[in-house]
Amino acid sequence: MSEILLSHVTKKYGPSVVALEDFSLQIQHGECVVVLGPSGCGKSTLLRIIAGLEEPTSGEVFLNGALASSLLPSERELAMVFQNEAVYPHLSVGENLVLGSRSHILRGRSWWQLGRGALFSLLSWKGGKAGSRAKGQQDLSEHFEDIVEFLELGCLLEKMPGQLSGGERRRVALGRALLKGGKILLLDEPLSGLDTNLRSGLRRLLGDLPRQFGHGKKITTLYVTHDQREAFSLANRVVVMNQGQIEQIGRPEEIYQSPANLFVANFVGDYGISTILGRAGVDGECFWFLPEGLSTEGRRLEWPLKNISAKIRQRLQGVSGKVLLGGRPEDFPLLPENEECITATMEGEVLRSECTGPSYCFQVSLLGGKARVWGGLGTSNKLVGEKIRLAIDLEKILFFDQESGENRSF
């Protein structure tokens, strides 16, 4: 079993810089957890503390049930991929791959000559004592070819790191970590700085590698990134961090659809969340929202309670008084002219149009504020200054507290 447990961990640099504050998190055996947050929020510090490269100011870290403070970095049964790859420039790709996993068998021996045949000669060498060393060599040789083939490194084994592209060096670093055979895999923004196509290809590899090449065992993976696409495509659970603290923990769809607060709502999503300031409440047989700046005689948004599901009514119980109505671009569907709608609607004016490929995104002036809304390719004829009508569906929109930013409809 491989498990990570952090209990009330705090890390300070001097009297004023707090990298982590009262951070608690449990990662189960075989789980892939992605820590998502902006630069400087403490993500890399978290990994370095788990790896034993830094000590926490307070709190405890447990790895596989053992208190980590009693373990040296080399005793923690983990492998780490750094943001800058940490590939040794004076060693070939093949030498970099096996370095760390089998470096003990090279004591008293010179490095093999470059060449695939020489590399596999080392992998099949049974020198030294029998037992665990021979078993380790057998395990390494069994998995080496699979990992090299899957990462497409076979034609690169004899090359030096200086001859590789950025994506190829990242694959070498990943292969070396997996060959080490640790129970825990730590990944520190391994795809940063790569172009879109490389990131997409390596992201697919990362999704399969721990399961397929974990030496027959599930690997517990902790991955940190500021890229939400990486987080959502890889994670069993996402941990959203900000200023050394946890903002929200949940499955990717929970983080996106039910953000705990405005920070999470704005950090996650291509365009963040659009908000409208106003007041909300229940009046007789309807739930209503009145945007700020409009009088009570003005047109408020109303939803008859009889048309609201029991699930949504329960979610709206804490929504009253001053709130922010929030929604993502897809939460404000465009309505064709003269089409009847059973939910509340708003009118807006197109300020800007952006083609995103399969659809258009419009920036709209809406009730004194601005919002982004999606439209299909058939809406490409919408012009700046044109009036449009939007549906406001309670199944999709959210309400946030004006002062704290907490999601009241969460």
By C-alpha distance, which of 96, 89, 90 is closest to 176?
A: 96
- Whether 58 has a pLDDT exceeding 50, the answer reads yes
Phi, psi of 186, rounded to the nearest 5 degrees: -110, 130
Kindly list the distances between the CA atom of residue 13 and the CA atoms of 22, 40, 41, 260, 375, in Å, as whole numbers in the listed order.
15, 13, 14, 29, 48
Q: Which residue has the higher pLDDT, 199 or 81?
A: 81
Would you state the CATH architecture of domain 4-260? 3-Layer(aba) Sandwich (3.40)
pLDDT reported for residue 380: 60
Q: Domain limits of the chain?
A: 4-260, 266-401
pLDDT tens column, 13-45: 998 899 999 999 999 998 999 999 999 999 999
Kindly list the distances between the CA atom of residue 248 and the CA atoms of 27, 251, 256, 306, 407, in Å, as whole numbers in the listed order.
15, 10, 11, 33, 12
Angle at 56 between CA 52 and CA 59, to 5 degrees: 115
Percent of the residues in the chain that have a pLDDT greater than 70, as a whole number: 83
Top-level class of domain 266-401 = mainly beta
- Whether 259 has a pLDDT exceeding 70, the answer reads yes
Burial 37-47 (b: 16+ CB within 10 A, else e): beeebbbbbbb
pLDDT reported for residue 407: 94
Phi, psi of 339, rounded to the nearest 5 degrees: -80, 135
- Whether 360 has a pLDDT exceeding 70, the answer reads yes
How confident is the prediction for the chain on average, in pLDDT? 82
d(CA 153, CA 324): 52
d(CA 71, CA 68): 5
pLDDT reported for residue 131: 43
Contact status, residue 382 vs residue 344, Cβ threshold 8 Å? no
**Count of Cβ atoms closer than 10 Å to residue 311 Cβ:** 9
d(CA 157, CA 178): 16
pLDDT tens column, 302-317: 898 888 888 888 888 8
pLDDT reported for residue 2: 80
Considering 101-105, 171-175, 358-362, 377-381, the range whose residues carry the highest mean pLDDT is 171-175
pTM of the model: 0.84
pLDDT reported for residue 190: 85
Q: Which residue has the higher pLDDT, 82 or 127?
A: 82
Q: What is the mean pLDDT of residues 63-69?
A: 91
Strands 387-392 and 344-355: antiparallel
Contact status, residue 164 vs residue 152, Cβ threshold 8 Å? no
- Whether 275 has a pLDDT exceeding 70, the answer reads yes
